[in-house]
A and B are shown apart, each in its own frame.
Chain A
Amino acid sequence: MKIRKVWKNNMIIGFPVWFAIMSMAAEITAQDMSGKQIIQEVNDQFNPQTSYAKSKMTIITTSGDKRTLVSESWRKGAGEKTLVRYLEPKRVKGQAVLMLNSADDIWAYFPRTGRVRKLASHAKKQKMQGSDFSYEDMGGGDAFIDEYSAKRLEDEKVDKQACFKVELIRNPDSDQTYSRLVLWIVKENFVPIVIDYYSENDPTLNEKQLVQSDIRVIDDLPTAFKVVMYNKMDNTQTEVNVLDAKYNLDLDDNMFTERSLKK
């Protein structure tokens, strides 16, 4: 197998989101790669050590109403540490979320009361700021490798792009929310442009679908500037538009502490 990496990976928002947005262009002769090898290849490349992003999240509710949030996020250690700080709307300005240990530990800060609240892991499954992304979606780490078993399915084309189709089945001892995921990964660059998420309790029930597009090169790294999560159960969707992205930053570990959360 010969893999020549042209693009390094980058990361902006969250683990599955990250997974989808971040792209690598790779010239590859890998028609016989297994599902595990494909996922490993993508995972190896989408976990930069540090990154920053400013993004606008638009939530479209069942009634068609829109709610817009602007946030900044910093990540370190391949998604092991994440700090998200909300800038808009004014209602949530200054609120911040710190996730450590790949979102196993979550703290939320509320500036009007000056209070930091630790959230238990059951909160990971809940909607973050009412969006269609959960805290777990926004976390990071190697969950696709450690928590799931990969199986390659028959290749398919998506928007005229030749894609690997890979199924991830949750390991029996895993506490991940999704029982199964199906990914369409562009062969040319290993970008997962579509991910289907299946119910925790019913592997046949497709609850959410994530679609990424508008790939632009930032700091020599391809970055998806548009990510949409469709919630098929609630008939809602959340669109994330990246406003700014930076990579390979010098982020001190002190940035991912309660002291920094309150700044």
Chain B
Amino acid sequence: MKHPLMLSIFVGLLPLFGQEDVPVFGYYESQYMGREIGDNTCQLYSNKLRIDLEGDLSDRVTFGANINYITYNGMTAWNILELLDPFAAAEVQGGTESHFIVHFQDRNYLDNAFLKLAFDKFDLTAGKQQVSLGTGYAWNPLDIFNVKDLVDPTYEQPGHNAVRIDLPLTLDYMVTALFSPEDTWENSDKMLTVKGRLGHFDYSLTAAEKLWVLTDFTQVDPGTDYFIQLPERRRLYGFSAAGELLGLGLWSEYGYNVMESSNDFYELVIGSDYTIDSGTYLMAEWFHYSIGKTAVAEYGLNDWMRSYYNQRKAISKDQLYLYLMHPLTDLLMAGLSTIYNISDGSLALVPMLSYSFSDNVEIMGYLSYNNGEMGSVFASDQGPGGTLRARIYF
């Protein structure tokens, strides 16, 4: 085995296998990703093994963890400069080009490992855990921990180190407090959410604080020989709601961000969905990002790179996500996502197919076609791409 750490983890896990109180399950995922870049079709293959452990150690104690092991082959080094439009690439400082190469390296990591204690009045979860906030499908203004992949927004997010308390006030109201420790108390993430229900609507009020670090990709810090980091405190105040109006599913999510040094900004999502009798599911979601740019000419290197590294949720101000899904047969689903960038007029079409091969085997694939002027978010010259994924659950 290539990685001694994984070997030791596996050996350590062996006694747990088969024990009823700590069941072992997970999945193996094989994925192919291809994309046209210039005259080449660049390809990246990955294999992912995820092993989940989850057990009720007693009536009040739950343990959960998962270990991930991912290998890559094919084109494992991607030069982002080849994907940027020439205007943005012109801002790159000489001598920093190597920092724009992204390497996909084999890795193993503990994604979640937490203990959940159920007290009479509240639950306490401590450790690395999933933190999913907000009601939006493609964007979540309240979620300062994760940024979704627009092409695949339901893919699982990484775990976050946190201590979380869920305190029900009544059957319909619950308070959630979350603390995610960093090097100091001041730099640690804190969040407080109150969830409630009014009629057939769920709503939440959220306040959060996080040390937000932006990178200036146009300047190098001589001390670190890497780009300058710009940390600042970010305070978020927001709400979300989800329910039904006139027969349509309806949700909204709003977050106002008070920034310590840069400009304050807000994010807003409004979405709606409906399932027609044939089983066809339709959804639309609009995302407004107040600090987003409104035209291609305004896009700079930092906009692109910060978006790539999830330091901002979008480059431009307004985007629309449309989704259609229809069951072709009992086992085969077809879908089409359309991501329309209202600000620069570009769009991405993402047709997809998902097939249930057996009880525990899923095969899915999607393509992505861009249509937009050079330099736009979904520029036509950023050739078509696609992903084919098979996942086996065990």
Contacts and interface: CB of A to CB of B under 8 A. Distances in A.
A100 to B, nearest CB: 9
Given A91-B360, A200-B277, A121 B330 contact: no
Contact of B123 (A62, A253, A259): A259
Interface in A94-143: 94, 104-105, 110, 112-115, 117-123, 125-127, 130
Main secondary structure of the interface of B (DSSP, over half): strand
B244 A120 contact: yes
Interface in B336-366: 356, 358-360, 362
B170 to A, nearest CB: 9
Contacts of A91: 359-360, 362, 393
B381 interface: no
A234 B279 CA distance: 12
A62 B329 contact: yes
A8 interface: no
Find the residue from A110, A113, A256 having the highest chain B CB count within 10 A: A113
B172 to A, nearest CB: 8
B359 A68 contact: yes
Contacts of A122: 247-249, 273-275
Nearest to B247: A122
Interface in B263-278: 273-275, 277
A204 interface: no
Contact of B154 (A104, A113, A130): A113
Contacts of B362: 91
Interface string A65-79: 101100000000000
Interface stretch (B69-77, B98-106, B125-133, B209-217): B125-133
Nearest to B329: A62
Contact of B393 (A90, A120, A200): A90
B25 interface: yes
B242 A118 contact: yes
Contact of A125 (B249, B275, B358, B359): B275
B312 interface: no
B11 interface: no
Nearest to A122: B275
Contacts, number: 98
B393 A59 contact: no
A157 B168 CA distance: 53
A36 interface: no
Contact of A114 (B129, B195, B248): B129
A113 B135 contact: no
Interface string B107-139: 000000000001000010000011110010000
B174 A259 contact: yes
A246 interface: no
B242 A89 contact: no
B200 A105 contact: yes
24 contacts: A65-B330, A67-B356, A67-B359, A68-B359, A90-B393, A91-B362, A104-B200, A105-B200, A113-B132, A113-B156, A114-B157, A118-B202, A118-B242, A118-B249, A120-B247, A120-B249, A120-B273, A120-B274, A126-B275, A126-B279, A127-B279, A130-B330, A254-B168, A257-B168
Interface of B: 25, 27, 54, 62, 118, 123, 129-132, 135, 154, 156-157, 166, 168, 171, 174, 195, 200, 202, 242-244, 247-251, 273-275, 277, 279, 329-331, 356, 358-360, 362, 393-394
